[in-house]
Structure 1
Amino acid sequence: MTTTSQVRVTHIGGPTALIEVGGWRLLTDPTFDPPGRRYDFGWGTSSTKTTGPSMTPADLGPIDAVLLTHDHHGDNLDDLGRAMLPDAGSVLTTESGARRIGGNARGLAPWATTTLQAEGRPTIEVTATPCRHGPPLSGPIVGDVVGFALRWDGQRHGQLWISGDTVLFQGTHEVADRLRIGTALLHLGGVRFPITGPLRYTMTARDAVQLCQALRPHTVIPVHYEGWRHFRQNRDAAEREFAAAAPDIHRSIRWLEVGVGTEIPG
């Protein structure tokens, strides 16, 4: 059985990251459109992209699987990202998203599991984890979202988890209760929209600190925290929150240089 503890993560920008492990090349939430366009998110909400990606789809090479937390918001799947989905080996996403995408898409409900298998590579068990992309009872408005926990033989510190766009709620605490997380890619930014005032739709760094107190991960990689006008907490503000956290949590934070592959303890 093939095992590995070596993981390489390239933060391409926004929620988009390339995860390389044991010969697998996995891509999260493909967003490759150039900046400047305004995107409608529905129900009176919209935002403008202010920063482009560090790489193009042509720069990436082949992708074995796309881990798509949700397909219906342009800051998680834009036009150029959508165009590359048919060329990926598979697309793992929400059940409703898989119905919309069709083709090579596999839908997963929260806590459902599937596997990625190929000769000469470690089998990766992928578990969809719950997300709530907004305040209580906002599900019918914001739509379905999932995170992904990845497990393979040889992991030293625990599973690799992509939180997806979510606030803190019972489902994120269930992740801490049910899984041992070694590396967490946390979607931050403290998203708010003028039409809904103080209501938030993703975690702030303070929320992330609270979650990490339960998760106790070895490595925390912030993603999806700037590059759009609807993000309300940029890196500088998040760093201040992390600096005030307990030393073990502060030490776990890894800000990746965008566009540069970084070796992460598995």
Structure 2
Amino acid sequence: MTIVRVTHIGGPTALIEFAGWRLLTDPTFDPAGRTYAFGWGTSSRKLADPAISPDALGAVDAVLLTHDHHGDNLDDAGRKLLPSAGTVVTTVSGAARLGGGARGLAPWASTTLEGEGRPTVEVTATPCRHGPPLTRPIVGDVVGFGLRWTGQQHGALWISGDTVLYGGVRQVAGRLPVGLALLHLGGVRFPVTGPLRYTMTARDAVELVGAVRPRTVVPVHYEGWKHFQEPRTVIEREFAAAPDDVRDRVRWLRIGVPTDLET
């Protein structure tokens, strides 16, 4: 069994520590107040400061970047942090844009993180679709990440990435046993595109958790930005109405507080 310490810094950003490794997801460290354009008439205002500043973060062995082209997943302060990280793993197109030796992964491709005195970590990209069907040319490529290393008892650590619920993300249930899942939620919508969703709703999450059946589910990327349509209260209500074997898997983290979890 491995104990994983997760610190939810805000939005999609989490510090993940285990067995001597310090990994960071989707670095967003800009202060609140700015509005970020996402393209095609969509934008969002950042409403909350990060719980930890980059200066207080400490050394990072690798950044797991689900996508580089939206400011709520990689902002200016987060981008400045990338050169100091040992490794950056992201999409194939994102690696080409970032340069600097960033590793690009297509869905279900893998790479490894290696460090002296630490277990080798296999990082596998999992499918995402950041919007309705046929919108990939507009919203761009996104991946999630499944992390596996020796000593895990309950399965991989999975970061879903920004995605709606669709066939690609459902493949995780059959291909990746999951012990701990960080699910990007929020049910994103924009006025210009009406009812169309760009990330999972709480109802989607209930269905996905029932299929994947991770031991523990940690909701992330549901707060701190104006474009999120489903805050924690909505997510809690949906999970409260779910079957016991889904409801009892959810663990809420206090933002900025390190929490020890099993995987």
Structure-2-length-normalised TM-score: 0.99
Partner of 2:51: 54
- The counterpart of 1:11, out of the listed 8, 21, 35, is 8
C-alpha contact 1:166 1:203 (8 A) present in aligned 2: yes
Is the contact between residue 11 and residue 223 of structure 1 (CA under 8 Å) also seen in structure 2? yes
SS of aligned partner of 2:248: helix
Mark the runs of 5 or more structure 1 residues left unpaired by the alignment. Answer: none
Find the counterpart in structure 2 of residue 98 from structure 1: 95
* Secondary structure of the corresponding residue to residue 80 of structure 1: helix
Q: 1:82-106, CA deviations, whole angstroms, 9 ceiling, x for partnerless residues? A: 0000000010000000011000311
Residue in 1 aligned with 2:60? 63
Q: How far apart in 2 are the matches of 1:259 and 1:152?
A: 26
Q: Give the alignment partner of residue 109 of structure 1, picking from 100, 106, 110.
A: 106
State whether structure 2 residue 27 is matched by structure 1 residue 42. no
The answer to whether the aligner puts 1:146 opposite 2:143 as a matched pair is yes
CA–CA distance in structure 2, aligned partners of residues 253 and 115 of structure 1:
29
Q: 2:218 aligns with which of 209, 221, 224?
A: 221
Q: What SS is found at the alignment partner of 1:222?
A: strand
Task: Report 1:125-164 matches (<5 A).
Answer: 125-164=122-161
Contact persistence 1:86–1:104 (CA under 8 A): no
Secondary structure of the structure 2 residue equivalent to 1:84: helix
Count of residues in Structure 1 that have an aligned counterpart in Structure 2: 263
Question: In the alignment, which of 21, 24, 27 is matched to residue 21 of structure 2?
Answer: 24
- Secondary structure at the aligned position of 2:171 is classed as helix
Please, which of 211, 231, 236 is the counterpart of residue 234 of structure 1? 231
Aligned equivalents of 2:202, 2:56: Cα separation in 1: 31
- Structure 2 counterpart of 1:221, one-letter code: V
Task: Name the aligned partner's letter for residue 36 of structure 2.
Answer: Y
Identify the match of residue 121 of structure 1 among 86, 111, 118: 118
Flag structure 2 segments of 5+ consecutive residues without an equivalent: none
Other-structure match for 1:258: 255
Report the CA distance between 1:52 and its aligned residue: 1.0
Runs of 4+ off more than 4 Å:
none
Deviations 1:124-156, CA, capped at 9 Å, x for gaps: 000000000000000000000000000001101
Percent identity between matched residues is 71
Query: Tell me, what secondary structure is at the counterpart of 1:160?
Result: strand
Residue 119 (structure 1) shift: 1.3
Amino acid at match of 1:174: Q
2:201 maps to 1:204: yes
Q: If the length of structure 1 is used for normalisation, what is the TM-score?
A: 0.98
* Distance in 2, Cα, partners of 1:149 & 1:56: 26
* SS of 2:187 mapped into structure 1: coil
Deviation, structure 1 residue 162: 0.2
Give the drift of 1:19. 0.3
Provide the aligned C-alpha RMSD in A.
Answer: 0.6
Where 1:18 maps in the other structure, the secondary structure is strand
State the AA in 2 paired with 1:223: V
> Are 2:187 and 1:190 aligned?
yes
Letter in 2 for 1:237: V
Contact kept, 8 Å, 1:225 with 1:234, in 2: the verdict is yes
Q: 2-side partners of 1:119 and 1:80: how far apart?
A: 29
> Distance between the aligned counterparts of 2:238 and 2:74, measured in 1?
29
